[in-house]
Structure 1
Amino acid sequence: MYEETVYEELDRWKRKLTKRQSMMGRYTKGLQAKVNGLIPEKVHTFVTTSIKNMTHATLIGSEYTTKIEPKQGLSLSERDENFKEILTSYKRTAALEGAGTGAGGIILGMVDFPLLLSIKMKFLFDTAATYGYDVHDYRERLFVLYLFQLAFSREEKRPMLLERIENWTEEKEKLPSKDVYLAEVDWKSFQLDYRDYIDLPKMLQLIPGFGAIVGATANYRFLEILGETAMNGYRMRLLEDKKEYRRKP
């Protein structure tokens, strides 16, 4: 019964992901482009470098490795409950971090970018373990990055990313070695997608005083979006793995 409810929720989520952007969304995108032109280039460079360093560390480093061991033998409903507790904790952490750095204006506001990225990565690694997947496997780290990219990607890229996540069982078998794949990662595209998604609210965060409110609200919302994507991404994998298991004699 619970799994049937999850299937329905997954269908609604996928429809929402592939829905055409609203007129307000397109207007905001245009406004964002104008705001970007007013921001000093050194700020953009700092953000881009932070994103690349985070992505690189996720693939080959141990900076975000979770202390939570992959949980085995739990039902999907139990995993979802554990995940919701983790998400609530990380949303609070992200909001407090955004409020603190947002209150300090442009200098502390710039510091928020790598801090928030670190929070998001640690959250995704903890989520992977909660759903029973081991992020010491580089292929699981790649899956984490695809979830991250799907959550903050441009509208036209979402169908392709969603399809890759839905078919991860087949996708991961096609992956080359970690070292070879690392050289093929489209760093620029990954950075631009994420930077474009977060630019407008995060640039408003650089305004002293006002930035504290924007920082807390924006960070909380970003974790909500990432949490929804991560939960449903792992739900799809667990249900698909279970289906494959049932097919075996």
Structure 2
Amino acid sequence: MYETQVAEELSRWKRKLEKRPSMVGRYTKGLQMKMNKLIPEKVHSVVTASIKNMVHATLVGSEYTTKKQPEEALSLKEREEKVFSIMKSYKRTAALEGAGTGAGGILLGMVDFPLLLSIKMKFLFDTAAAYGYDVRDYRERLFVLYLFQLAFAREEKRSLLVEKLEKWDFEKERLPEKEEYLATFDWKAFQLDYRDYIDLPKMLQLIPGVGAVVGAVANYHFIDVLGETAMNGYRIRWLSE
């Protein structure tokens, strides 16, 4: 019965991803795309390299991967109860971090970016372990990276990323060797989508007086979005297996 309920929720989530964005959303995306074109390619390269290095350090860092032992012999319902608990904890952590850096103005606001990125990746690793997947396997870390990308991707890219998750058993057999698997990833598209998604709330977070509130609410929301994506991504694998 629980898996039937999950399958229905998964179907609704996929339909939500296919919905056309609102007029305000389309206007914001159009404005961000115009701004991206005005930014010199050298700047894009620096930002891309920075995000790549931060994510890469998290993906290969032993302090993240060695502690995340997969949960064994649990039902889907038991696993998801754990995931909800994990999500609740990380929402609280992210909100406190956003409030703290938001209250500090521009200087601490700049610190928020790598801290929040680290929190998100740790959350995904814990979620993977709760569903029974071992993130010490580099292929599982790449799956985590695609979940992250899907959570903050532009509308036109979502269906392609969902298809990649649905065909993961086939996709992972085509992956390059462990030493090269991150080199083939489209880091520029990754950083543009992620940056555009968080741009507006993160700029508001720098405003004195309201930054703490905006930071807390925004970070809480980001973990919420990431959690919904991660759960449905692993539901796809669970139901197919």
User: Would the alpha carbon gap of residues 46 and 113 (structure 1) be closer, same or farther in structure 2, given more than 3 Å must change?
Assistant: farther
Identical-pair percentage? 76
The correspondence of residues 192-207 of structure 1 with structure 2, limited to 5 A, is 192-207=192-207
Equivalence for 2:108: 108
Q: Does 1:55 align with 2:55?
A: yes
Paired with 1:152 and 1:16, the residues of 2 have a C-alpha distance of 14
Paired with 1:91 and 1:51, the residues of 2 have a C-alpha distance of 22
Structure 2 length normalisation: TM-score? 0.91
Equivalence for 2:233: 233
Q: CA deviation at 1:219?
A: 0.2
Q: Which runs of 5+ in 2 are unaligned?
A: none
Structure 1 letter corresponding to 2:117: L
Structure 2 letter corresponding to 1:133: Y
The correspondence of residues 56-95 of structure 1 with structure 2, limited to 5 A, is 56-65=56-65, 67-95=67-95
The correspondence of residues 84-233 of structure 1 with structure 2, limited to 5 A, is 84-233=84-233
Paired with 1:28 and 1:80, the residues of 2 have a C-alpha distance of 34
Contact 1:35 1:200 in 2 (8 A): no
Pairs aligned (count): 239
Paired with 2:201 and 2:45, the residues of 1 have a C-alpha distance of 18
Paired with 2:68 and 2:49, the residues of 1 have a C-alpha distance of 29
Contact 1:125 1:135 in 2 (8 A): yes
User: Would the alpha carbon gap of residues 221 and 50 (structure 1) be closer, same or farther in structure 2, given more than 3 Å must change?
Assistant: farther
Q: CA deviation at 1:34?
A: 7.8
Structure 1 letter corresponding to 2:57: A
Q: CA deviation at 1:58?
A: 3.6
Structure 2 letter corresponding to 1:199: D
Contact 1:92 1:220 in 2 (8 A): yes
Q: Which runs of 5+ in 1 are unaligned?
A: 242-249
The correspondence of residues 14-25 of structure 1 with structure 2, limited to 5 A, is 14-25=14-25
Paired with 1:66 and 1:18, the residues of 2 have a C-alpha distance of 36
User: Would the alpha carbon gap of residues 34 and 175 (structure 1) be closer, same or farther in structure 2, given more than 3 Å must change?
Assistant: closer
Contact 1:2 1:77 in 2 (8 A): yes
SS in 1 for 2:74: coil
- Spell out, residue by residue over 1:114-162, the C-alpha distance to the aligned partner (whole angstroms, 9 max, x if none): 0000000000000000000000000000000000000001111101001
Structure 2 letter corresponding to 1:177: E
Structure 2 letter corresponding to 1:86: I
Structure 1 letter corresponding to 2:102: G
Paired with 1:68 and 1:145, the residues of 2 have a C-alpha distance of 16
Q: CA deviation at 1:182?
A: 2.4
User: Would the alpha carbon gap of residues 205 and 34 (structure 1) be closer, same or farther in structure 2, given more than 3 Å must change?
Assistant: farther
Paired with 1:94 and 1:182, the residues of 2 have a C-alpha distance of 26
Q: CA deviation at 1:240?
A: 1.0
User: Would the alpha carbon gap of residues 149 and 79 (structure 1) be closer, same or farther in structure 2, given more than 3 Å must change?
Assistant: same
Contact 1:47 1:195 in 2 (8 A): no
Contact 1:58 1:141 in 2 (8 A): no
Contact 2:68 2:134 in 1 (8 A): no
User: Would the alpha carbon gap of residues 106 and 46 (structure 1) be closer, same or farther in structure 2, given more than 3 Å must change?
Assistant: farther
